[in-house]
Amino acid sequence: MFKQKFFHFLKISGLTVLVCFSVLFFSYHLAYAKKVIPGVKIASISLGNKSQSEVDYLLGKKFADQVSQPVKLTADDKSFEYSFEDLGLDYDLDRTTAAAFEVGRRGHLFKDLQTEAEVWFKGIKIEPTLRVDEEKLDRIILEISEGLDDPPAEAEFRMINDELGIKDAKGGRVLNQEELKGKILASLKNFSNNTIEISFGDVTPEITATDLETVKPPVEDLLANPPRLTYQPRSWTPTPEEILSFLKFKKPNSEVEIGLREDRLKDYVKKIAAQINREPRGDIFRAEGERVIEFRSASNGLKLNQEKTLELLSSALLNSQETMELAVEVSQPLRSANDYGIKELLGRGVSNFTGSSQGRINNIQTAAAKLRGILVAPGETFSFNKALGEVSAATGYDTAWIIKEGRTVLGVGGGVCQISTTVFRAAFNSGLAILARTAHAYRVHYYEPPLGFDATVYEPSPDLVFKNDTPHHILIWPTVDVAGKTLTFGFYGTSDGRSTKMIGPFVSGETPPPEPLYQEDGSLTKGTTKQIDFAAWGAKATIGREVYRNGELLHNDTFYSHYQPWQAVYLVGTSE
């Protein structure tokens, strides 16, 4: 009897507890049905018992305050400040608010009960959600890294007084990009003062002077017996400095291995190719006015197989092979000279080089000869830089004035732009598709009038590029009149009936040059003044072109030129 009463009491008590718990559970959820449950915080902001509008207001104000502060990154004595927009970062108010309301409301009864109990007694902090433009943030961090990194320097061989020496290695430090990214995101999620310290990792060089000592004998042997590359009567032998630049060293285990730097080898092979490569050439033997009476295929084209040459050179370096024949491919001309269709003048470009130094005139003649007779096939794109090849003292060029890095300076190849300008005019007047053309930085008197009808080139860019969009080959034929100081480029082929109309030039925005600049120079004696740069007015010029064929508009181009006002610069001697 007692047992029955006891179990009955337990049932009643359990039912009472269950009812009370249910009432409490539903009352709790009813009370916070549209509010964040108590105990939820973001940083120091308590969101418990707040409605969505209240949460949006509190967080929106906090986010706005935080975004208004720049993010400051510091390292050593340097600091960098960026806005949130610079870094591609922003707070996501909607997702952060949703995350606060989701606490204790995951849809799993017992887990939600456990969470609500823990939050009630201990509280919980959630992080704000960030919107991150990974590309922007990574780019900024990479820029900082490139500016602050001090990469390690491997030990390397050096030629010292014609002897092989070794420069020892040096340790370095590298910014930990992923760690910095994590610090930035963590700091912004914690609402810190937006100041983050950049940390670095020490990097130890792999190859030391001791390592190089172990491979010094075979390197010395290679320098003493360098490979010689030959083609017909010519040959090329890399210098000791060039050979050392080809080599790289690695230590996969305990022993040092000798390898090759493919990028340096490719550059070397490319230079040889520039001296060998030649497009098939043609020759006008007889012409009457603008008609070609006799045209001949004057020479084959030559092209260095750079991939094969790279393989041969690599093998020669690694296997101490002293002589190797270069792989040169010969382009045969068409079966008959008549197949080229070189019959008449399509267009002509003319420029004047009066006042040029002897070095500049020599360069004009040298560059013109390199382009004489080039045949551009139908549909082929002509690159001026590629066709001209290497411009250096080794390829026959003298020193003359050039425009480089915003100044007029003496350099090898001055006058080549006279060639590119005249070729541009020939392509323009022939009605061909011009794909790339760049005006000079300032006005050059050789190319006026008209203003805006010039083209500057420099390897590898800018380049002058046009396409032969006619059905027949085009022959490029220059004439250099040294006595008359006139350069002419004629483009010959078979006319498809196109005609060209120039519109303009239209000149605006002319501005006078700045006052001359006088710089003291200790290499000149007192009382001596030497002009090294020349004044020129600034201007904007626009030239239009319309090309028609049988009434159809083929090309409608506009060529813009913006010439900076240029300052005269004088050196004033200070030496006694």
Q: Which CATH number fits domain 218-331: 3.40.800.10, 3.10.20.800, 3.40.50.300, 1.20.1300.10?
A: 3.10.20.800
Q: Could you please report the per-residue DSSP string of 305-336?
A: -HHHHHHHHHHHHHHT--EEE--EEEEPPPSS
Enter the tokens of residue 466.
């046009």
- Residue 21: the pLDDT is 45
214, 162 in Cβ contact below 8 A?
A: no
Q: What are phi and psi of 352, to 5 degrees?
A: -120, 135
Enter the tokens of residue 460.
């590898």
Q: Provide the 10 A C-beta neighbour count for residue 576.
A: 6
* CA–CA gap between residue 519 and residue 569 (Å, rounded): 8
Domain ranges of the chain: 1-30, 218-331, 341-575
Enter the tokens of residue 242.
């060039």
Three-state SS string over 183-236 comes to HHHHHHHCCCCCEEECCEEEECCCCCHHHHHHHHHHHHHHHHCCCEEEECCEEE
Q: In what helix (H) or strand (E) does residue 276 lie, and over which residues does it extend?
A: helix 262-276
* CA–CA gap between residue 277 and residue 383 (Å, rounded): 14
CA dihedral (32, 38, 41, 46) positive or negative: positive
CA distances from 234 to 119, 228, 386, 428, 487 (A): 86, 10, 21, 38, 31
Residues 6+ apart with CB under 8 A from 569: 407, 516, 517, 518, 519, 531, 532, 533
- Residue 116: the pLDDT is 61
Q: What string of pLDDT tens digits covers the 576 residues of the chain?
A: 555 655 555 556 555 544 444 444 555 554 555 777 787 778 777 877 778 888 788 888 888 888 888 888 888 888 888 888 888 888 888 888 888 777 767 656 556 566 566 656 776 777 888 888 989 899 988 988 888 888 888 899 999 888 999 999 998 888 888 888 888 888 888 887 778 888 888 888 888 999 999 999 999 999 988 999 898 888 889 999 999 999 999 888 888 889 999 999 999 998 888 788 877 787 776 777 778 767 777 677 788 899 999 998 998 888 877 788 888 888 776 655 667 888 899 999 999 999 888 989 999 999 999 998 888 889 999 999 988 988 888 888 888 767 666 666 677 778 899 999 999 999 999 999 999 999 998 888 889 989 999 999 988 889 999 999 999 999 999 999 999 999 999 999 999 999 999 999 999 999 999 999 888 888 888 888 888 778 889 999 999 999 999 999 999 999 999 999 988 888 888 887
Q: Strand 71-75 vs strand 195-197: parallel, antiparallel, or unpaired?
A: parallel
- Residue 18: the pLDDT is 47
Q: What is the pLDDT of residues 69-81, one digit of tens each?
A: 888 888 888 888 8
